[in-house]
């Protein structure tokens, strides 16, 4: 029994030292966050392009989303899209 416990402890130490399983959950979370941010950015760009806002405002929102992808995209969905629907279309 004692030999089995020593073997399993040693095996765990080797696995932890190699980093095989330690960084995997963190990597999965990071990849999921990157995919979520990319999805938000792409959906914001599509929403901006297809919105009824004027060309000038679309350009401003696209530049803002490009400069600050997460904040610009989030602000588009919270502020810009609502404002684009309520304002008249100008070219």
Please write the tens of the pLDDT for every residue from 39-71.
Answer: 999 999 998 899 888 888 889 989 998 898 888
Q: What is the pLDDT of residue 59?
A: 92
Task: Kindly list the distances between the CA atom of residue 52 and the CA atoms of 2, 21, 58, 62, in Å, as whole numbers in the listed order.
Answer: 73, 49, 9, 14
Cα 90 to chain centroid, rounded:
32
Confidence of residue 80 (pLDDT cuts 50, 70, 90): confident
Task: Kindly list the distances between the CA atom of residue 49 and the CA atoms of 16, 25, 26, 90, in Å, as whole numbers in the listed order.
Answer: 49, 36, 35, 14
- Averaged pLDDT score across all residues of the chain: 77
Q: What is the pLDDT of residue 45?
A: 92
Comparing 3-12, 28-37, 43-52, 81-90, which segment has the lowest mean pLDDT?
Answer: 3-12
Pairwise CA distance, residues 23 & 29, whole Å: 10
């Amino acid at each position: 029994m004692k030999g089995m416990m020593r073997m399993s402890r040693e095996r765990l130490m080797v696995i932890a030292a190699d980093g095989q399983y330690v960084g995997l959950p963190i990597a999965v979370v990071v990849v999921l966050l990157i995919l979520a941010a990319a999805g938000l950015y792409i959906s914001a760009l599509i929403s901006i392009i297809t919105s009824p806002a004027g060309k000038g405002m679309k350009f401003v929102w696209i530049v803002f989303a490009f400069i600050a992808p997460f904040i610009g995209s989030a602000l588009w969905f919270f502020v810009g899209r609502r404002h684009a629907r309520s304002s008249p279309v100008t070219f």
